[in-house]
């Protein structure tokens, strides 16, 4: 990464002290290759198509490529810019192929939260939306189209860089700030900073890591055990998020254990708190559950 790219990226990061800044600079300079993240439609087709026949065949692919092959086939649903602008350049890691929320779903989520907060008569110019586990920026971008202040948080510097570059492609980079690091280690500092700004966190959104495509191997998705990789499970996630806002929205697996979800809701909030669930479909297929808490979005 050259000096100018480094400076531009750092200008979008929320950094609390000099030691954190130095750690990030060292990470970017010595363990980071932005060119490897650059994706064009032509580059994608070259990777997945048989070079002799020009035909895609999952059986001829490497194990890793075969794992994400079906996401390649649906690439235009993840970021429509790949279809509408063939010369555009996106930024993705292999993990993001199956982690980024499809664009029609992220658009629906952003529209829904915006409508709810608009009805609550909040000053949306002073309202911040936090996207925790922002990944490649699919949800962050759609939030930034609606809200002037969005914060994307991720503990993977490559993913954060992808959000930064993809937000540029969608021309919303001026509405997005980014925070690198473990959410649960940075939450207190971030909360103190936000309290000092006088702005209100209108909603905390997260599509936490589900564990890859293997999440479907179980009949019921355990919201404590299987989300343990991020925050130790759903209880800890909700306990943390409610420090920032009473309005919380999570995009969770379609096979989530609803009995467990009800029990966790009562434990974290109280027996009178409702969790609203929307079953989210795309092209006729159930993709996940939109789970919501908070008086502004549950009515």
Backbone angles phi, psi at 237, to 5 degrees: -60, -50
Going by the DSSP 8-state scheme, the letter that residue 230 receives in this structure is: T
Tokens 């409610």 belong to which residue? 242
* Angstrom distance (rounded) from CA 47 to CA 39: 11
Mean pLDDT of 19-45: 87
Q: How confident is the model at residue 211 (pLDDT cuts 50, 70, 90)?
A: confident
Query: Could you report the per-residue pLDDT of 264-283, keeping only the tens digit for each?
Result: 999 999 999 999 999 999 88
Q: Which DSSP string do the residues of 89-125 spell out, in sequence order? A: -EE--HHHHTTSPPHHHHHHHHHHHHHHHHHTT--GG
Q: Domain count of the chain?
A: 1
Q: How confident is the model at residue 215 (pLDDT cuts 50, 70, 90)?
A: confident
Query: Could you report the per-residue pLDDT of 225-265, keeping only the tens digit for each?
Result: 998 778 789 999 999 999 999 999 999 999 999 999 999 99
- Whether 276 is in a domain gets the answer yes
* Angstrom distance (rounded) from CA 269 to CA 257: 18
* Angstrom distance (rounded) from CA 295 to CA 299: 7
pLDDT above 90 for 113:
yes
Q: What integer pLDDT is reported at residue 123 of this predicted model?
A: 87
Identify whether the C-beta of residue 109 lies closer than 8 Å to the C-beta of residue 249.
yes
- Whether 74 is in a domain gets the answer no
- Whether 147 is in a domain gets the answer yes
Query: Could you report the per-residue pLDDT of 198-210, keeping only the tens digit for each?
Result: 889 999 999 998 8
Which CATH number covers residue 267?
3.40.50.150
Q: What integer pLDDT is reported at residue 54 of this predicted model?
A: 47
- Whether 137 is in a domain gets the answer yes
* Angstrom distance (rounded) from CA 101 to CA 136: 9
Task: State which residues form the domain around 279.
Answer: 103-293
- Whether 142 is in a domain gets the answer yes
- Whether 57 is in a domain gets the answer no
* Angstrom distance (rounded) from CA 98 to CA 69: 10
- Whether 83 is in a domain gets the answer no
Q: For 133-271, where are the E strands, in sequence order?
A: 149-154, 176-180, 200-206, 248-252
* Angstrom distance (rounded) from CA 251 to CA 265: 15
* Angstrom distance (rounded) from CA 10 to CA 82: 27
Identify whether the C-beta of residue 112 lies closer than 8 Å to the C-beta of residue 139.
no
Residue, of 224 and 45, whose pLDDT is higher = 224
Identify whether the C-beta of residue 79 lies closer than 8 Å to the C-beta of residue 90.
yes
Residue, of 42 and 238, whose pLDDT is higher = 238
Burial string for 67-104 (b: 16+ CB within 10 Å, else e) reads bbbebbeebebbbebbeeeeebbbbbbebbbebbbbbb
- Whether 143 is in a domain gets the answer yes
Q: Quote the mean pLDDT of the chain.
A: 89
Identify whether the C-beta of residue 289 lies closer than 8 Å to the C-beta of residue 254.
yes
């Amino acid at each position: 990464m050259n000096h100018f790219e480094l400076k531009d990226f750092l200008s979008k990061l929320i950094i609390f002290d000099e030691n954190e800044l130095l750690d990030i600079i060292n990470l970017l300079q010595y363990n980071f290759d932005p060119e490897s993240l650059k994706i064009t439609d032509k580059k994608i087709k070259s990777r997945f198509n048989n070079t002799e026949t020009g035909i895609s065949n999952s059986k001829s692919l490497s194990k890793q490529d075969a794992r994400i092959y079906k996401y390649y086939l649906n690439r235009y649903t993840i970021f429509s810019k790949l279809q509408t602008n063939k010369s555009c350049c996106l930024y993705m890691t292999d993990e993001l192929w199956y982690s980024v929320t499809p664009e029609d779903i992220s658009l629906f989520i952003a529209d829904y939260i915006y409508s709810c907060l608009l009805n609550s008569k909040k000053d949306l110019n002073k309202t911040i939306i936090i996207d925790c586990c922002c990944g490649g920026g699919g949800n962050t971008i759609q939030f930034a189209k609606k809200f002037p202040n969005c914060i994307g948080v991720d503990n993977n510097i490559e993913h954060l860089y992808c959000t930064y570059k993809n937000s540029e492609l969608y021309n919303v980079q001026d509405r997005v700030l980014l925070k690198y690091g473990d959410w649960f280690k940075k939450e207190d500092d971030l909360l103190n900073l936000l309290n000092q700004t006088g702005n209100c966190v209108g909603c905390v959104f997260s599509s936490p890591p589900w564990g890859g495509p293997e999440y479907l191997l179980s009949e019921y998705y355990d919201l404590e055990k299987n989300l343990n990789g991020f925050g130790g499970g759903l209880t800890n996630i909700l306990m943390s998020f409610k420090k920032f806002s009473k309005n919380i929205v999570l995009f969770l697996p379609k096979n989530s254990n609803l009995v467990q979800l009800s029990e966790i809701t009562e434990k974290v909030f109280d027996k009178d708190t409702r969790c609203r669930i929307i079953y989210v479909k795309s092209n006729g297929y159930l993709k996940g559950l939109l789970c919501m808490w908070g008086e502004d979005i549950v009515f």
